[in-house]
Structure 1
């Protein structure tokens, strides 16, 4: 039997072409609406202060306490080694952003899909990245609330003000985010991020400057903190490793920051991005090392988990430093929230076919802020949260996943320098991921046994 050709075949091809063009136009419209790809006009200095805001956050305040748990030798070694390793892995991320000519990996999971495969890449990267970004925002809710409470206590010392629960201060801090979370993209929060970066340098300088002024305290001891059992000392050592890892978390948003920069074959985005990263890491070193080393030098193993809590004079300076912390973590919260907003909005619009409207953005972002506020109020364990999240999720995304992707994509020769460096980073990162959460989780459980919910 003879098979006849379909009638009006030209019309079929024309119709198919129209559908393809409409689909492409729809994809472009979505890209121009979601936060990460909607604006690509950022300058190199945006990279600098976005990265400073992302890294120099709540973690820096716990570094003297981490040194008290680690001791001078291991503490300084871990601090320096972490700076070197994360600087190297951040360079890898920037280089891999445009590893495929003509294509940009604007999100961490897109690079993961290129390295591990479309489905496996999502399953490897997305859960860990979400744990990091949501975990940081929860910790910053607690940090913002604690800093506001500390400011209130310092200002009210002479006036005998009524004591206010930490819960209310966390809610006050969250109220700011119910407003500014509706700024559409990274470039729109550039002013907030710049203010946050300036604040981070300011309160870091105040912290170590006030420690120098205070000097070495009476009966200061630099041995390990006194614990009831050896197990306490070991588990707190593990937790301190996570606290250091928490201090280097910028990798989780670096590709998303780079995505906001213009790029051509002649002038790829990695050039201005790397310029900003170098400036950011110099600032990070200028903040981290003095705070950690001088803070531990001044207070020894009696230092608080937040260095500002160890400093009570001059009152005006410490009060100001706490307000600077609040302003900084407002910016940091937004830096880590923006990729989460991007994921939520992309899934809702692309997969579930919601319309890309302001109402969708209004509802989803308010729910997210409310969720992080609720968890922060329920579990306000500052340094324990740092230890747990630092090891469990920050170690993979910061210390060794970039190295694994580098090995898979570039395939350096076995036993070459690049191959050896990457495997060293992978081994150290895996060890950190395994042991750090153990200490943090144990500390959280111990605190939870005596903590009364919503009575803090």
Structure 2
């Protein structure tokens, strides 16, 4: 929600730089309006086209981001040191950055949904094609993100924005296109992240609370969820802080220690064997990561909130 709103605002400001400024809140609401419609799509198969478009856009705008940074070159008096004047601030910023990494390279619960749709037999288990897909996905993500990180830092140092496309302004037409690519990407991302939540909500409402299944339930439940996320976004439109907080609080468990706990409970490896020790190390590190990154991200949100004029 926040990223989509920021990208729409940047597109407006680049294309119509002489126009009257419009609040970020309104752009987030415009972005949310798309999801009130798309959230009514019934399942993962129905959003496959949106997902494909999002993947193509991600590769495209990340290439534009580092390419435009190379074209711009290093800014005058570029600084590569720590932004925080004190050690404590630097340490907490480090925790927040770990949350960013956890978010960027998270193994989301969507992976389990995808694997569940694969046909699996003892001769051809689903884990083989899924493993190839995961390896390909992580390589592709690395090819997208690492050039942006390295070239962006070289060009702007510690003055770079959380979203590098907000920092860039020229060539104007290319930056405008790149920001619209971001909008398409996060439209797809939102739906992919939200679909398991929709499924969980509707399952609870039908099985536990005895709501009748159907279009009306889907319309009300999913619309309320979209409205809630829109409200959170317009209240706390802090890209970096939210990324770090949710990277630790939401993505670290599904990536770093819950899979290990599932493995231990199902396969029950021999105590103090290599598998047993390796999994418990991952669980311990994952818990530490979740706690520290959540603290770092929450601190960034609080710091930004102190100087922020809400709903502006």
Pair in the same fold by TM > 0.5 = yes
What residue number does 1:257 align with?
Answer: 114
2:11 to 138, 141, 151: 151
What residue number does 2:46 align with?
Answer: 188
What residue number does 1:245 align with?
Answer: 102
| Kept after mapping to 2: 8 A contact 1:186/1:260 | no
Q: 1:449 and 2:309 equivalent?
A: no
Find the aligned partners of 2:187 and 2:223 in 1 and give their Cα distance: 15
What CA deviation, in whole Å up to 9, does each residue of 1:206-247 have, x standing for no partner? 11122222233332232222x243322222122111111111
Deviation at 1:446, TM superposition (A): 2.1
**Partner SS for 1:222:** coil
What residue number does 2:164 align with?
Answer: 307
What CA deviation, in whole Å up to 9, does each residue of 1:21-58 have, x standing for no partner? xxxxxxxxxxxxxxxxxxxxxxxxxxxxxxxxxxxxxx
Counting only pairs closer than 5 Å after superposition, residues 193-272 of structure 1 correspond to structure 2 as: 193-225=51-83, 227-272=84-129
What residue number does 2:138 align with?
Answer: 281
Find the aligned partners of 1:350 and 1:190 in 2 and give their Cα distance: 28
Gaps of 5+ in 2: none
| Kept after mapping to 1: 8 A contact 2:51/2:192 | yes
| Kept after mapping to 2: 8 A contact 1:251/1:398 | yes
Q: 1:326 and 2:183 equivalent?
A: yes
Gaps of 5+ in 1: 1-140
Which deviates more, 434-443 or 370-379? Answer: 434-443
What residue number does 2:222 align with?
Answer: 365
What residue number does 1:81 align with?
Answer: none
Deviation at 1:286, TM superposition (A): 0.9
Counting only pairs closer than 5 Å after superposition, residues 272-421 of structure 1 correspond to structure 2 as: 272-421=129-278
Aligned length: 312
For residues 417 and 288 of structure 1, do their structure 2 counterparts lie closer, same or farther at Cα, with a shift above 3 Å needed? farther
Deviation at 1:398, TM superposition (A): 1.2
Q: 1:427 and 2:287 equivalent?
A: no
Find the aligned partners of 1:272 and 1:184 in 2 and give their Cα distance: 25
For residues 207 and 186 of structure 1, do their structure 2 counterparts lie closer, same or farther at Cα, with a shift above 3 Å needed? same
Find the aligned partners of 1:171 and 1:196 in 2 and give their Cα distance: 20
TM-score, normalization by structure 2? 0.94
Larger Rg: 1
**Partner SS for 1:251:** coil
Deviation at 1:415, TM superposition (A): 4.4
Deviation at 1:143, TM superposition (A): 0.6
| Kept after mapping to 1: 8 A contact 2:248/2:293 | yes
Find the aligned partners of 1:263 and 1:246 in 2 and give their Cα distance: 29
Find the aligned partners of 1:281 and 1:338 in 2 and give their Cα distance: 22
What CA deviation, in whole Å up to 9, does each residue of 1:363-400 have, x standing for no partner? 11111111111111111111111122222232222112
